[in-house]
Amino acid sequence: MTVLSLLFYLLALLIVASTGIAVTRRNLAHAVVYLVISFFGTAMLFYLLGAPLLAALEVIIYAGAIMILFLFIVMMIRLERIEGPLFPRRQMVPALVAAAVYLGAGILLMAYGDPAGNARLASASASPAEFGRFLFNRHWLAIEIASLLLLVALVGALHIGREPADAEEPQP
Amino acid sequence: MIVPYSHVLALSGLLFLIGMVTTVARRNLIMVVLGLEVMLNAAAVAFVGASLRWELLDGQALVIFIIAVAATEVSVGLALVVAAYRKTGSVDPEQLEETEASA
Amino acid sequence: MNLQYAQFPWLSSMLLCCLGGLVTIMLIPGHREKEIKWVSAFYSGLTLVLSLNVFVLYDKSVGGFQFVERVDWVRSLGISYFNGVDGFSVPLLLLTGIVFFTAVLTMWELTLRVKEFFALLFLLVAGVFGLFMSLDLFFIFVWYDVSLFPMYLLIAIWGSTRKEYGAMKLTLYLLAGSALILPALIYLVVHSGLQTFDLTALMRPGLFTPYEQKFAFLLFFIGFGILAGVWPFHTWSPVGHVAAPTAVSMIHAGVLMKIGAFGVLRLGMFMCPAGWEYWAPLMALLATVGIVYGVFVGLRQTDIKYVIGYSSVSHMGIVGLGLATVSVEGLNGAVFQMFAHGIMTALFFSSVGYIYDRTHTKAIDELGGLSHIMPKASGYLILAALTGIGVPCLASFWAELTVFIAAFRVYPVYGVLAVCALVVSALFMLRVVQRTCYGPPNERFAHLEDVSFTLGLPRMILVTVIFFFGLFPSLMFDMIQTASLPLLNGLP
Amino acid sequence: MAISGIPYSFLVPALTALAAPLAAFTLIMTQLRQRAQLAAGVSIAAVSLSFGCAVWLLAANWGMTAPLEHTWQWMVSGDLTISAGLLLDPLSLLMALVVATICLLVQIYSLGYMAGDPGMGRYYGFMSLFAWAMLSMTLSVTLLQLYIFWELVGLASYLLIGFWFEKYSASQAGKKAFVMTRLGDVAFLLGILLVLGHLGNLNILFMNTPDVAARFAPAWLTLAVLLIFGGVIGKSAQFPLLTWLPDAMEGPTPVSALLHSATMVAAGVYLLARLFPFFSLSPTAMTVCLAVGTISMLLSSTMAMVARDIKQVWAYSTISQLGFMIMGLAAGSYFAGVFHLTTHAGFKALLFLCSGVLIHHFGTNDMFAISRAGGRSLKVTIVCMTIAAGALSGLPPLSGFFSKEAIMGALAAHSNPVWLGAGLLGAFLTAYYSFRLIFVLLFPGRDDTPEVAHDAGHGAAPAWHDHVMNGPLLILAAVTLGLGWAEHPLKEFLSGVLPEGLPAAHHLAWLPRTAIGLCLGGILLAWLEFGRPRAPKIGFVERMPALHRLFAERWYIDRFYRWFLDLVIYRLVAGTCEANDRKVIDGGLDGLANGVQGTGRRVDRFNRVMIQQRLGVMFAVIFFLALYVFF
Amino acid sequence: MMNWIALSPELWMLATIGVFLGRSMMRPDAGRDHLLALVTSAVALGVALAGTGFSGELFAGTYRVDLFSQFYKCLLAAGFFLVVCLCDGMQGVREDLQAEFYLLLAVCTLAMMMLVSSVHLLTLYITLELSSYSLYILVSLRRDRARGIRAGLKYFLVGAAASAVMLFGLALVYGTTGTAYLIDLLAALPVQTGQPAFSIGLLLLLGGFFFKLAIFPFHVWAPDVYEGAANPVAAYIATASKVAAVGILVRLAVLGTTAYFVHVLAVLAIASMTIGNLAAITQTDFKRLLAYSSVAQGGYILIGILSMDPAGYAAATFYAFAVLVMKFTCFMVVVQVAVGDKNPTIEDLAGLHRHAPVMAMALMMALFGLGGIPPTIGFTGKLLLFTAAMAKGHFTLVLIAMINVVISLYYYLKVLRAAYFLEPSPDAPHVQETLPMKALSLAMIAAMVVIGFYPNHLIELTRRAAALIS
Q: Are E58 and E118 in contact (CB under 8 A)?
A: no
Q: Note the pLDDT tens digit of each residue in C115-168.
A: 889 999 999 999 999 999 999 999 999 999 888 888 888 888 888 878 888 888
Residue in A with minimal Cα distance to E17: A148
Q: Return the pLDDT at B1.
A: 63
Contacts of E416 in chain C (CB under 8 A): 152-153
Q: Note the pLDDT tens digit of each residue in A113-131.
A: 776 777 788 878 888 898 9
Q: Are A57 and B68 in contact (CB under 8 A)?
A: no
- pLDDT average, residue stretch C270-274: 90
Residue in E with minimal Cα distance to A146: E126
Q: What is the mean pLDDT of chain C?
A: 89
Is the pLDDT score of D75 beyond 50?
A: yes
For residue E8, give the nearest of E49, E61, E39, E36 by alpha carbon.
E49
Whether omega before E436 lies within 30 degrees of 0, making that bond cis, reads no
Is the pLDDT score of D447 beyond 70?
A: no
B27·A88 Cβ contact <8 A = yes
A95·B14 Cβ contact <8 A = no
Give residue A166's pLDDT band: very low, low, confident or very high (50, 70, 90): low
Q: Return the pLDDT at C433.
A: 87
Q: What is the mean pLDDT of chain D?
A: 85
Contacts of E147 in chain A (CB under 8 A): 170
A57·B55 Cβ contact <8 A = no
Q: Note the pLDDT tens digit of each residue in E212-265.
A: 999 988 999 999 999 999 999 999 999 999 999 999 999 998 888 888 899 999
Is the pLDDT score of D196 beyond 60?
A: yes
Is the pLDDT score of D535 beyond 80?
A: no
Q: Are E199 and E258 in contact (CB under 8 A)?
A: yes
The whole-angstrom distance between D578's CA and the closest CA on chain E is 27
The whole-angstrom distance between D92's CA and the closest CA on chain C is 21
Q: Does A92 lie at the interface with E, CB-CB under 8 angstroms?
A: no
For residue C425, give the nearest of C344, C343, C335, C487 by alpha carbon.
C344
Give residue D455's pLDDT band: very low, low, confident or very high (50, 70, 90): very low
Q: Note the pLDDT tens digit of each residue in C75-87.
A: 888 899 999 999 9
Residue of E196 and E19 predicted with greater confidence: E19
Bridging pattern class, strands C65-74 and C3-5: parallel
A142·E122 Cβ contact <8 A = yes
The amino acid occupying position E360 is A
**Among residues 111-170 of chain A, which lie with CB inside 8 Å of chain E?**
112-114, 117, 137-142, 145-146, 148-149, 151-153, 155-156, 159-160, 164, 168, 170
Distance CA D132, CA D107 (A): 14
Contacts of E2 in chain A (CB under 8 A): none
Residue in E with minimal Cα distance to D613: E220
Q: Return the pLDDT at D446.
A: 59
Give residue E266's pLDDT band: very low, low, confident or very high (50, 70, 90): very high
For D193, the closest of C296, C328, C405 (CB atoms) is C405
Cβ neighbours, 10 Å, residue D112:
24
For B94, the closest of D610, D616, D619 (CB atoms) is D610
A85·B27 Cβ contact <8 A = yes
E279·D629 Cβ contact <8 A = no
Cβ neighbours, 10 Å, residue A61:
18
Contacts of D608 in chain B (CB under 8 A): 97, 100-101
Distance CA E246, CA E68 (A): 12
E174·B12 Cβ contact <8 A = no
The CA–CA distances, whole Å, from D358 to C415, C462, D21, D347 equal 49, 44, 29, 16
Q: Note the pLDDT tens digit of each residue in E177-204.
A: 888 898 888 888 887 777 888 889 999 9
Q: Does A4 lie at the interface with D, CB-CB under 8 angstroms?
A: no
Output DSSP code: residue C66: E
E126·A146 Cβ contact <8 A = yes
- With contact defined as 3+ CB pairs under 8 Å, the chains touching B are A, D, E
Contacts of E225 in chain D (CB under 8 A): none
ipTM of the complex: 0.91
Q: Return the pLDDT at D452.
A: 46
Is the pLDDT score of A169 beyond 80?
A: no
Long-range contacts of D165-171 (CB under 8 A, 24+ apart): D165/C371, D165/C437, D165/C438, D165/C439, D166/C369, D166/C372, D166/C438, D166/C439, D166/C440, D166/C441, D167/D250, D167/D455, D168/C438, D168/C439, D168/C440, D169/D247, D169/D250, D170/C438, D170/D250, D170/D251, D171/C434, D171/C438, D171/C439
The CA–CA distances, whole Å, from D475 to D52, D101, D105, D255, D349 equal 16, 10, 8, 18, 11
Which of D619, D625, D631 to mutate against chain A (most A CBs within 10 Å)? D619
Q: Note the pLDDT tens digit of each residue in E138-153.
A: 999 888 888 899 999 9
Q: Note the pLDDT tens digit of each residue in C369-425.
A: 788 888 888 888 888 998 888 888 888 899 999 999 999 889 999 999 999 888 888
Which of C168, C297, C476 to mutate against chain D (most D CBs within 10 Å)? C297
Is the pLDDT score of C452 beyond 50?
A: yes
Is the pLDDT score of D454 beyond 80?
A: no
Q: Does C30 lie at the interface with D, CB-CB under 8 angstroms?
A: no
The CA–CA distances, whole Å, from D9 to A163, C347, D91, D330 equal 112, 42, 19, 36
- pLDDT average, residue stretch D584-601: 90
Query: What's the pTM value of the predicted model, to 2 decimals?
Result: 0.91
D578·C297 Cβ contact <8 A = yes
Is the pLDDT score of E291 beyond 90?
A: yes
Is the pLDDT score of D458 beyond 60?
A: no
Q: Does D572 lie at the interface with C, CB-CB under 8 angstroms?
A: no
Contacts of B37 in chain A (CB under 8 A): 35, 62, 66
Distance CA D501, CA C35 (A): 77
Is the pLDDT score of C4 beyond 90?
A: no
Q: Return the pLDDT at D501.
A: 46
Distance CA E395, CA E258 (A): 18
Q: Tell how far CA C416 is from the center of its chain.
A: 26
Is the pLDDT score of E427 beyond 80?
A: no
Per the DSSP assignment, residues forming a β-bridge with C70 are: C82
- pLDDT average, residue stretch D368-388: 84
Contacts of C427 in chain D (CB under 8 A): 175, 179
Q: Do chains C and B touch (3 or more CB pairs under 8 A)?
A: no
Q: Return the pLDDT at E2.
A: 65
For C235, the closest of D149, D197, D586 (CB atoms) is D586
Range among C2-16, D306-320, E40-54 rated most confident:
E40-54
For C183, the closest of E373, E395, E463 (CB atoms) is E395
Q: Does C329 lie at the interface with D, CB-CB under 8 angstroms?
A: yes
Q: Return the pLDDT at E434.
A: 87
- Residue D7: what are its φ and ψ, rounded to 5°? -70, 160
D619·B94 Cβ contact <8 A = no
Q: Does A97 lie at the interface with D, CB-CB under 8 angstroms?
A: yes
Q: Does B75 lie at the interface with E, CB-CB under 8 angstroms?
A: no
- pLDDT average, residue stretch D327-338: 87
Distance CA D154, CA D130 (A): 9
Q: Return the pLDDT at C1.
A: 58
Distance CA E56, CA E307 (A): 28
- pLDDT average, residue stretch A30-58: 92
Q: Return the pLDDT at D406.
A: 86
Is the pLDDT score of D507 beyond 50?
A: yes
Q: Tell how far CA C151 is from the center of its chain.
A: 14
For residue B14, give the nearest of E38, A23, E313 by alpha carbon.
A23
Residue ranges in D139-257 assigned as alpha helix (H): 143-161, 168-199, 204-207, 218-235, 244-247, 253-257
Long-range contacts of C17-23 (CB under 8 A, 24+ apart): C17/C43, C17/C46, C17/C47, C17/C50, C18/C43, C18/C47, C18/C122, C18/C123, C18/C125, C18/C126, C18/C129, C19/C122, C19/C126, C21/C118, C21/C122, C22/C119, C22/C122, C22/C123, C22/C126
For chain B, residues with pLDDT lower than 70 are 1, 98-103
CB contact burial A1-23 (16+ within 10 A = b; e otherwise)? eeebbebbeebbebbbebbbbbb
Cβ neighbours, 10 Å, residue E429:
11
